[in-house]
Amino acid sequence: MFGTQTLGANTGFGSPAATTTNNPMKDFEVTSPPEDTVSAMEFSPATLQQNFLIAGSWDCSVRCWEVEQSGKTVPKSIKTMGGPVLDVCWADDGSKVFIASTDKQVKCWDLASDQVVQVAQHDAAIKTCHWVKGTNYTCLMTGSWDKTLKFWDTRTPQPMMSIQLPERCYCADVDYPMAVVGTAGRHILIYSLENKPTQFKQQESPLKYQHRTVSVFRDKKKAPTGYALGSIEGRVAIQYVAPVNPKDNFTFKCHRSNGSTGYQDIYAVNDIAFHPIHGTLATVGSDGSFSFWDKDARTKLKSSETLDQSITKCCFNSNGQIFAYAVGYDWSKGHEYYNPQKKTCIFLRSCYEELKPRASS
């Protein structure tokens, strides 16, 4: 079973096959990974009994695997888009996957019929897509480099609503009734999605450098209450939408290493994911490592060994037993560091124990 033991060589999770892959954490490798770097990755929602993993890539493909309890991954299907895939999301019932691409479209992949249809359109590449499950409506939210945020019924060709953004959309997250969007120019926009999407507030990023990823977190009552924002300068900001105390908001450094010359090497934070049960978080970076953090105790719970390529994406499955992370080149050091011999990999790790919050003294 997942979560009964850590993924060592002698667990029910199966021992990772001896391959040439650099796998310092001895985690389980997903079979038939994408041909190019993973740009988007999401596990199926809790409404499905099995665990399915979807990954979109710069190779223009979207792949689906079933992750078995033994840890074996079974490739289920693959679809090809009209351009590199920039985001994926699941419908809440697990029946469909939405795929955002540089071809300026979002496609809906109906998993039962295996059919793909276009459901959204922008005037430039679509960077984010999120399914919104409201109390009185459901829709698809898309953010684009055309500087708009659009909401789609998915059954009609015109959006229900279109919001002008101050700049190109770089990152977004949704946890109903809250949506957060980060744009170029270091703008952060927070929306309330109740009844219909309305802007709650706009602010400047608390981070001095370009932000790359944002993730909504919840309070102890499981209501969305704030967000974590990661920047290219190895830093994460924890921001409450309505902080009780201004000191509740803070930033921390991560994904940095001491260089040989006495200077610090600083890497981008590529993705942030919150654990669905514990509320702790994982960050992954261009330094090739992942770290687990407890934001309330303001401590690091664990750091991984460093892999030989960047970690571009991460996610938890719905019950928080599995942590998935994707390894591949993110061009953070330019074309001269691109090595075609190094392949893209996705690893799975049993993580429930490692993400338990620090016991409060």
Residue 223: give its domain's CATH number: 2.130.10.10
Nearest CA to 51 out of 94, 109, 3 is that of 94
User: Residue 331 CB: number of other CB atoms within 10 A?
Assistant: 12
Q: Report CA-CA distances (Å) from 322 to 78, 139, 190, 258, 301.
A: 22, 28, 29, 31, 16
What is the per-residue pLDDT across 91-136, written as a single tens digit (0 to 9) for each? Answer: 999 999 999 999 999 999 999 999 999 999 999 999 999 999 999 9
Are 304 and 314 in contact, with CB atoms under 8 Å apart? Answer: no
Cis peptide before 243 (omega within 30 of 0): no
Query: Can you tell me the distance from the alpha carbon of 347 to that of 326, in angstroms, rounded to the nearest whole number?
Result: 6
pLDDT of residue 260: 76
pLDDT of residue 20: 56
Q: What is the pTM of this model?
A: 0.94
Radius of gyration of the chain (CA): 19
pLDDT of residue 361: 54
What is the per-residue pLDDT across 11-47, written as a single tens digit (0 to 9) for each? Answer: 334 444 444 578 999 999 999 999 999 999 999 999 9
Structural domain includes residue 258: yes
Residues whose CB falls within 8 Å of the CB of residue 158, separated by 6 or more in sequence, listed in order = none
Residues whose CB falls within 8 Å of the CB of residue 39, separated by 6 or more in sequence, listed in order = 56, 57, 58, 84, 85, 86, 87, 312, 313
Structural domain includes residue 150: no
**Joined tokens for residue 314:** 């991460």
**Joined tokens for residue 292:** 């687990």
**Joined tokens for residue 150:** 């659009």
Pairing of strands 256-258, 211-218: unpaired
Structural domain includes residue 260: yes
pLDDT of residue 323: 98
* Domain region containing 287: 205-318+326-333+341-360
Structural domain includes residue 279: yes
Are 195 and 204 in contact, with CB atoms under 8 Å apart? Answer: no
pLDDT of residue 308: 94
Structural domain includes residue 241: yes
Structural domain includes residue 30: no
pLDDT of residue 262: 81
pLDDT of residue 6: 35
Angle of CA points 207, 346, 81, to nearest 5°: 85
Query: Can you tell me the distance from the alpha carbon of 206 to that of 229, in angstroms, rounded to the nearest whole number?
Result: 9
Compute, in degrees rounded to 10, the torsion defined by CA atoms 151, 154, 158, 159: 0
Count of structural domains within the chain: 1
Which residue matches tokens 């994926």?
A: 88
Are 145 and 127 in contact, with CB atoms under 8 Å apart? Answer: yes
Three-state DSSP at 105 gives strand
Q: Report CA-CA distances (Å) from 89 to 81, 218, 244, 315, 323.
A: 15, 19, 32, 12, 17
Three-state DSSP at 247 gives helix
| Residue ranges for the chain with pLDDT beneath 70 | 1-20, 360-361
Query: Can you tell me the distance from the alpha carbon of 83 to that of 125, in angstroms, rounded to the nearest whole number?
Result: 9
CA dihedral (174, 241, 283, 342) positive or negative:
positive
Structural domain includes residue 250: yes
Structural domain includes residue 149: no
Question: Residue type for 194, please?
Answer: E
Are 290 and 314 in contact, with CB atoms under 8 Å apart? Answer: yes
